[in-house]
Structure 1
Amino acid sequence: MKGDGDEQVHLEDISPTPPDQQYSNRDLRVDTSPANPQNWPVWKKDAQILMVAFHSMAATFMAAGIIPAYDTMAEAYAVTVPQATYLTSAQILLLGICPLFWKPITSTYGRYHVFIFSVLGSMVCNIGGARCTTYGTQMVTRVLTAILISPPMGIGSGVIAELCEPEKRAQKLGWWTLMLTLGTPGGPLIMGFVTKRVGFEWMFWIFAMMNFGQLIAYLLLGEETLYIPADGDTYGANPERPRFFQKLIPRRINPHPLKLREFIEPLLYSRFPRVLIPACAHAIVFCYGNIALIVEMPIAFGEKFNFDSQQIGLQFIAIVIGCLLGEQLSGPMSDWFLQVMHRKKGYHRPADRLWLSYIGFGTVIAGLLVWGFQLEKATSWNMTPCVGAAIASFGNQIITTILISFAVDSYKESSTNVGVCINFFRHIYGFIGPFYFPPMFNSLGLAGAAGVMCAIIGACALPSVIAIQFVATRTDRKRQDVTH
């Protein structure tokens, strides 16, 4: 208990102070510099958050978007369908690992220019993907695309923390997590139509068009959100808002030297229960409440009902609807609940957010069981498996936003490191899933596999969240009693 209570106080013992936290003890709200994001108008803050949220969505959209085209691509490239699935698996793995590389760079040189380079490089790779004629060259373009498009997957939480106060943070984090989650069903939903109507090559042209649209948005609306005030200067190192062409010139924002250990620093935050437990619980739920449904949907509906790519894509509408409804509860409701508890207790306690996560656990388990059992016994297509998928997605979205908000609130000055750490756990666990999903579904059936996934969630993820809420609540209460 004592260790958990001291974790925020002694956070600096992990490693030297990270670049984007070096001046975190300053109250930026009293800094009147136009370069300080806290002084921006609301529309400008929201624009930055929406751009980074869409950027994260584009990463998962492109990785999952090729799922309906596995059969067609396997035939065109003279490979097996399992080999074609590696084009997505490789991207899932890299989307989890690569933010570790981008995070120190963005902490030194800023987020803005990295985001511009990210979408520009991804656009070039997607154009190359549309022109590929062999499996090997397509794998190269998918790997490079994943590396280049990955920055916001981890540092998105840092951008939001730089722009939002705690009472609005869950809602804005919800935008980011919602878009990130919607990318996985949204890609197959849209690209199923594209694959059938105009050919799979047009998927990559559409990806490139998305990147071009992002590039224009960043050029017209984007601003640097990393702000580090200069020592002894209340107006900051860059007191004047840069002109349009000036902001396009890369420059070093943080004088802190870039050290090698900073590339693994986010993983060191897994030493703390308030990061490790939400990261593991979120990874488990996201894998079974999102990735498993996305991966198995084409196989189950394709084999069982002889659906083509377009018909399979339509099934993902259920997941999209579930995510959208789940976010309405998890984001705004979580912020409202936190404000109510704040007024009641007189202080901010991040663990209060976790009460709403239990709604998510109940619905994700119920949804998976409905999906598995109804699809197992179906002899012709009906709505009930899709209803189950929607319920599971509803719960998954609640848990995603609540757990990430809790971890970021617990270490708000280290929000970027926390986001990268959680993203790493989510994608590593998600990467492993598709390798054992097919044999599990084949041997246990859809109903049995759904039961196993629910048992893992109920035995591993749920108890750990209950435990961290109990410990964190007691620790925060004791700390508050000592303060007063």
Structure 2
Amino acid sequence: MPEQVCETWSGASSTNPQEWPEWKKNAQILMVAFHSMVATFMAAGIIPAYDTMAEVYGVTVPQASYLTSMQILLLGICPLFWKPLTSIYGRYHIFILSVLGSMVCNIGGARCTTYGTQMATRVLTAIFISPPMGIGSGIITELCEPEKRAQKLGWWTLMLTLGTPGGPFIMGFVTKHIGYQWMFWIFAIMNFCQLVAYLFLGEETLHIPENSHTPAASPDRSRFYHKFIPRRMNPRPLKAREFVEPLFYVRLPRVLIPACAHAIVFCYGNIALIVEMPIAFGEKFGFDSQQIGLQFIAIIIGCLLGEQLSGPISDRFLQALQKRRGHYRPADRLWLSYVGFGTVTAGLLVWGFQLSKATSWNVTPCVGAAIASFGNQVITTILISFAIDSHREVATDIGVCINVFRHLYGFIGPFYFPDMFDTLGLAGAAGVMCAIVGACAMLPIVAVHVVATRSD
């Protein structure tokens, strides 16, 4: 059966996450958000070192890029495996195992001398670091009141999105000045910092009211040490169908349509820009890894600004409707998504056309990338919040399902992006991407918006 998320739990208890102090709930949310960011940060962070690793390992640059592509794929698929385990054994110890395993693999990555061994460490790292990519939405839904949910989900989606441009931005400097091996040492240091944070600030967020096996909380230090002991949180048996159960929710239009729309926009408003940035700026302007990394600042700025609209402003918009009408519908959030679709389209066109005709570096393509990133962040938070608000009782499963769509579609993109950009040019490819976003993402959202508004 799916892991149920209760909107309100009865009975105050220190073991009930909804009764925790605000700082403690925020600490758990921020750790999960940072954990998700680290996953995408490490996958994309090796992009500036493709040329160097290709030379060292004796492979082509496209083959070196598979080190990232494989991680994108696994970050989408592996949460299907982790989600049932967290619903039985809890999330806390799974997260500790996640960062510890990832740290060991990154230390191994720093010592690799062949392409095969490096691929093995990247595969294992992606498997270990992937748990919060899907279940983060469920944790946040359980810890947050409805009127604050979009803002806190926004923290998670923002960090998840920022990891993609943040990795290449920082690792461009690392690769140029101290060597590509230090990328993996820095990844390991980040994992160690996560481990320390989980040990001292982390708590088990899975709450099962009927679970009589959960011991009563004690205020002394034995309570602190007790949380480190792994135990079975849920006595029910683990069933094989639970490993694919999140995918069953594609039968729900309010999950399937937002998942597809989000995957399309994320692919073209985020992944396409990040994959093409090193190629376009490297070939056109002769940029090195550090100079290419600086271009990702535009995407980071766009994401940060977009979250201000999609998170806090979205929640205030719903609160205003609540005061005026006495209630609000999940579909009311979708009004703000149209701002996202408009800015993604405008940003991609500015980026493609300005970069296509540029003969020397100028800031306008980066402005376009920032505008597209702004729209992508708005759409990401709004669509995920809408899907979860529509089916709050299965928030974790929905998060895993949406994550699969996002990463599978994102995994396919880099295989046809080079041919698309070579054949159509930057401007033509930008036009095609905008057409796909409009026809395959925005129009279905308009349809589900109309239907959901009338039926609620």
2:451 aligned to 423, 448, 471, which one?
A: 471
Q: 1:99-178 alignment to 2 at 5 Å?
A: 99-178=79-158
Compute the displacement of 1:238 (Å): 3.7
Select 1:411's aligned residue among 391, 397, 416: 391
**C-alpha separation in 1, matches of 2:176 and 2:48:** 9
- Check if 1:212 corresponds to 2:202: no
**8 A contact 2:7–2:392 mirrored in 1:** no
The one of 186, 191, 205 equivalent to 1:225 is 205
TM superposition shift of 1:213: 0.2
Structure-to-structure mapping, 1:4-403, within 5 angstroms = 17-18=1-2, 20-21=3-4, 24=5, 27-28=8-9, 30-230=10-210, 237-241=214-218, 243-403=223-383
Runs of 4+ in 1 over 3 A off after TM superposition: 24-27, 236-239
Identify which range, 340-349 or 441-450, moves more after superposition. 340-349
Aligned residues: 453
Q: Which amino acid aligns with 1:31?
A: G
CA displacement at 1:340 relative to structure 2: 1.4
* Residues 27-81 of structure 1, C-alpha deviations (whole Å, 9 max, x = no match): 41x3211000011000000000000000000000000000000000000000000
Whole-angstrom CA distance in 2 between matches of 1:168 and 1:404: 14
Where do 5+ consecutive residues of structure 2 fail to align?
none
Distance 1:299 1:119, change over 3 A: same
1:243 match: secondary structure: helix
Tell me the amino acid that sits aligned with residue 349 of structure 2. Answer: L
Q: CA deviation at 1:239?
A: 3.2
Partner of 2:440: 460
TM-score (norm 2): 0.98
Helix, strand or coil at the partner of 2:209: coil
Cα distance change on mapping 1:397 and 1:25 into 2, 3 Å? closer
- The structure-2 alpha-carbon separation of the partners of 1:372 and 1:26, relative to structure 1 and needing over 3 Å to count, comes to closer
Deviations 1:188-219 (A, max 9, x none): 00000000000100000000000000000000
**Could you tell me how far 1:344 is from its partner in structure 2?**
2.3
Which amino acid in 1 is paired with 2:41? F
TM-aligned CA deviation for residue 256 of structure 1: 1.8
Shift of 1:373: 0.2
Q: Identity rate of aligned residues, in percent? A: 79
Partners of 1:403 and 1:26 lie apart in 2 by: 20
Instruction: Return 250-259 or 82-91, whichever deviates more.
Output: 250-259
Q: In the TM superposition, what are the counterparts of 1:414-433 in structure 2 within 5 Å?
A: 414-433=394-413
- CA distance, structure 1, for counterparts of residue 279 and residue 73 of structure 2: 22
Compute the displacement of 1:26 (Å): 8.1
Q: CA deviation at 1:343?
A: 2.2
Q: Structure 2: how far apart are the matches of 1:99 and 1:188?
A: 24
Aligned partners of 1:469, 1:161: CA distance in 2, in Å? 22
Superposed CA RMSD: 1.1
* 1:25 CA displacement: 5.8
Structure 1: segments with no counterpart, 5+ residues: 1-16, 477-484
- The Cα of 1:228 is off from its aligned counterpart by 0.6
**Is 1:438 paired with 2:418?**
yes
Counterpart residue type for residue 239 of structure 1: A
Residues 7-27 of structure 1: CA deviation (Å, up to 9, x unaligned): xxxxxxxxxx32x21xx5684
Amino acid in the other structure paired with 1:168: K
1:211-241 per-position Cα deviation (integer Å, ceiling 9, x unaligned): 000000000000000001127x8xx944315
Q: How far 1:347 sits from its partner (Å)?
A: 2.3
Alpha-carbon displacement from aligned partner over 1:435-470 (angstroms, at most 9, x marks no partner): 000000000000000000000001110000001111
